[in-house]
Amino acid sequence: MKYRSIRVKLLSSFGITFSVLYALLISILFLLASRFFSQNMKRNALSFVKLTFKEVSETYLDYYSTNPLRFAEKINLVLNSIPDLSKIVIFDSLGNMVFSTTQLFSKERENEDLPLSPRLIKSYEIKDKLDKEYYVLVPVLNETGRNIHSILYIFSREKEFQFRRFIAIFGLFIYSILFLITLLIDNLLMGRFVNNIEKLKQIAESVQSGNYSVRAFINSGDEIMYLSDTMNSMLESINTYIYNLKAMVEELEARDRARDEILANISHELRTPLTASKGYVELLLSGNMGPLSEEQLRALKIISRNLNRLEEETKKLLYSSKMAIENIKISLSRIDVEKVFAEVKENFHNEIRKKNLRLINEFEAKEVCADYDQFRSIIENLISNAIKFTPDGGLIEVKTNSEKIGDKGYFKISLFNTSPKIPESDLNKIFEPFYQVNHGTKKEKSGVGLGLYIVKRAVELHKGFVRALNSENGVKFEVYLPLTEACDEEDSGG
Amino acid sequence: MKKILVVDDEPDILELIKDILKSKYDVYTAKNVKEAVSILEKVKIDLIILDIMMPQIDGWDFLWMIRGSEKYREIPVIIVTARADAEDQLIGLKEGVKDYIVKPFLPNELINRVEEILKERAK
């Protein structure tokens, strides 16, 4: 829809209405005026005729045949006494023209073009010809009532036409002035109205750009005022909602922080008893506290293994709390990917053998510049997660390579493992803390669901990203760490 | 035998460290900073193992005290902490701490660190 401002729309609709109205009005005035003018002319002509026809008739009777000069003089006097009278014609009783005033000015007796036979014209009646002139025919009767001759007055309508032309032009002029004045007045009258609408428009625009504190102050006492009041109260409630939402978000964040704090505290608190227990188990196992029987050694090993698991979970718990994450600063160094991988693989040796998993790897990119602890944690948690969810006899495949996305280079780790598919809607959720994929068979559940969350956090510390996708026969995890030259600089800097 | 002072508010940890080190060193234990100071006054200590999180006067305060005194300034300190945050490590090393160990630790780990530091000092 094309944009046209209300001002223009109103002005054009007013303009059209008024121009039609004015046109009607002025045409009516024009008709009335010209009618009045021509009637006036006719009346004047008639009264002139009434005044003069006797004199003309007598002059004709007295002098026409006897003293033509005198006759001409007299008749000329009549002719000139009124400017509109253009001609006087005299017919005999039979209707033949005997005299016309044109004869006074030209020697020839012209064959004048008279439109009507005088017989057909009744006395005093004016037969309007639409063009130049009109006629008044006066039959002159003698005492017995017989027509002795008729006098025809021909009046020019030149003046009337002039008047009509004049008032037409004048009317057009008035019309344009009126039209302009109307537009001006419209504009003045609509000004406030349109301004108010524009105010509302501005307010709507600033609300659109996120400023909810604007208010409309319109006191026009009409729908616009109502609209602006409604808008104000709407904005008021939006403000309140936003305020409440902010408060809610703050509260949730505070709760989140409190949770993290509690997690951090719990894991701190757990460390002391863990340290004491583990320490003594190790001391006992090392034989420093006296010899142990086979049975006792086996029991201690089980205790030790479980304490290690407890420790791992505690670490993850602490690690997952935002507080701990926020305090972590990464220090980049060049890392031998193969070595880290080999170490991690060694750590999970027992689990891998127990589940009879095949773990294969292919390192196209052998070095990465990253934080060592974080990088190791990424590999550890990815592999630990894969071991957990790969069915017995399954395959785990780890690859690294460099990849370009746009104009940014990444070190990419991709880990594939055979496993049931993850529901598409859950692919993003698996990186959330405490998330457990529900595979239908619940036997694989173990840990508190922090592994992938820790991977995500560690990757994000490097400003990288991580994603999971279902692929044929399994699930694929891809970690992208941005390539950086920070390590090179350190080397060259010594 | 070298003399080692262990300061920790947890009796079990005190005992554990003592048991780990007692075969090779004279181990003195202190439950709090007050006890630690009185031991420092009586015995010539070669190394201090210090827990950072203690009630009332904590490990940092004690560290300040040692670093501030002519007599004890040179004694190497190993910090034991449950907090693995990078920031603690940074502050620790700045304060002239020789090393830090994060709980939970393995007996061998502790023995190795202590031996290394004492060897370095002997040179």
Q: Which residue of A has its CA nearest to B12?
A: A276
HEC readout, chain A: CCCCCHHHHHHHHHHHHHHHHHHHHHHHHHHHHHHHHHHHHHHHHHHHHHHHHHHHHHHHHHHCCCCHHHHHHHHHHHHHCCCCEEEEEEEECCCCEEEEHHHHCCCCCCCCCCCCCHHHCCCCCEEECCCCEEEEEEEEECCCCCEEEEEEEEEECHHHHHHHHHHHHHHHHHHHHHHHHHHHHHHHHHHHHHHHHHHHHHHHHHHHCCCCCCCCCCCCCCHHHHHHHHHHHHHHHHHHHHHHHHHHHHHHHHHHHHHHHHHHHHHHHHHHHHHHHHHHHHHHHCCCCCCCCHHHHHHHHHHHHHHHHHHHHHHHHHHHCHHHHHHCCCCEEEEEHHHHHHHHHHHCHHHHHHCCCEEEEEECCCEEEEEHHHHHHHHHHHHHHHHHHCCCCCEEEEEEEEEEECCEEEEEEEEEEECCCCCHHHCCHHHCCCCCCCCCCCCCCCCCCCHHHHHHHHHHHCCCEEEEEEECCEEEEEEEEECCCHHHHHHHHC
pLDDT at B7: 93
The beta-carbon neighbor of A271 closest among B20, B103, B107 is: B103
Q: Using the beta-carbon criterion (under 8 Å), do A272 and B103 form an inter-chain contact? A: yes
B82 touches chain A (CB under 8 A): yes
Cα–Cα distance between A425 and A442 in angstroms, integer?
19
The beta-carbon neighbor of B13 closest among A276, A289, A327 is: A276
All residue ranges of chain B with pLDDT < 70 are 83-98
Tens of pLDDT, residue by residue over A60-77, are 888 888 888 888 888 888
- Which residues of chain A approach chain B closer than 8 Å at the C-beta? 268, 271-276, 278-280, 282-283, 286, 288-289, 311, 318, 324, 327-329
Tens of pLDDT, residue by residue over A449-471, are 678 888 888 898 888 999 999 98
Q: Looking at the predicted structure, is the pLDDT value of residue A358 above 70?
A: yes
pLDDT at B91: 59
Closest to A16 measured CA to CA, from A170, A179, A169, A177: A179
CA angle A45, A48, A49 (to 5 degrees): 85
Any bridge partners for residue A151, and if so which?
A90, A138
Q: What would the CATH number be for the domain defined by B3-122?
A: 3.40.50.2300
Alpha-carbon distance values, A268 to A263, A401, A449, A481 (Å): 8, 38, 19, 30
Q: Using the beta-carbon criterion (under 8 Å), do B10 and A276 form an inter-chain contact? A: yes
Question: Which residues on A lie below 8 Å from B13 (Cβ)?
Answer: 272, 275-276, 279
B93 touches chain A (CB under 8 A): no
pLDDT at A440: 45
pLDDT at A445: 46
Any bridge partners for residue A48, and if so which?
none
pTM value is 0.45
pLDDT at A434: 66
pLDDT at A241: 92
Interface test mutation site (partner B, options A261, A270, A275, A332, max chain B beta carbons within 10 A): A275
B85 touches chain A (CB under 8 A): yes
Mean pLDDT score of chain A: 82
Query: For residue A438, what pLDDT band results from cuts at 50, 70 and 90?
Result: low
Question: Parallel, antiparallel, or unpaired: how do β-strands A465-471 and A474-482 relate?
Answer: antiparallel
pLDDT at A121: 45
Cα–Cα distance between A332 and A368 in angstroms, integer?
9
Q: Looking at the predicted structure, is the pLDDT value of residue A36 above 80?
A: yes
B109 touches chain A (CB under 8 A): no
Q: Which residue of A has its CA nearest to B10?
A: A272
- Residues 22 to 81 of B: which have CB under 8 A from any A CB? 23, 53
In this prediction, residues A185-197 reach a mean pLDDT of 82
Alpha-carbon distance values, A339 to A344, A368, A462, A483 (Å): 9, 12, 20, 19
Q: From the CA atom positions of chain A, what is the Rg in Å?
A: 58
Q: Using the beta-carbon criterion (under 8 Å), do B19 and A280 form an inter-chain contact? A: yes
pLDDT at A248: 93
Tens of pLDDT, residue by residue over A368-403, are 999 888 899 899 889 988 988 899 999 999 999 999
pLDDT at A325: 59
In chain A, the percentage of residues whose pLDDT exceeds 70 is 88
Question: Which residues on B lie below 8 Å from A329 (Cβ)?
Answer: 86-87
In chain A, the percentage of residues whose pLDDT exceeds 90 is 16
The beta-carbon neighbor of A276 closest among B12, B85, B106 is: B12
Question: Which residues on A lie below 8 Å from B53 (Cβ)?
Answer: 268
3-state secondary structure of B91: helix
Q: Which domains does chain A have, with CATH numbers?
A: 6-107+115-164 (3.30.450.20), 212-327 (1.10.287), 329-493 (3.30.565.10)
- How many interchain CB pairs under 8 A, A with B? 58
Structure tokens at A421: 């598919």
Interface test mutation site (partner A, options B8, B21, B83, max chain A beta carbons within 10 A): B83
Question: Which residues on A lie below 8 Å from B106 (Cβ)?
Answer: 278-279, 282
In this prediction, residues A126-144 reach a mean pLDDT of 70
B107 touches chain A (CB under 8 A): yes
In this prediction, residues A14-23 reach a mean pLDDT of 85
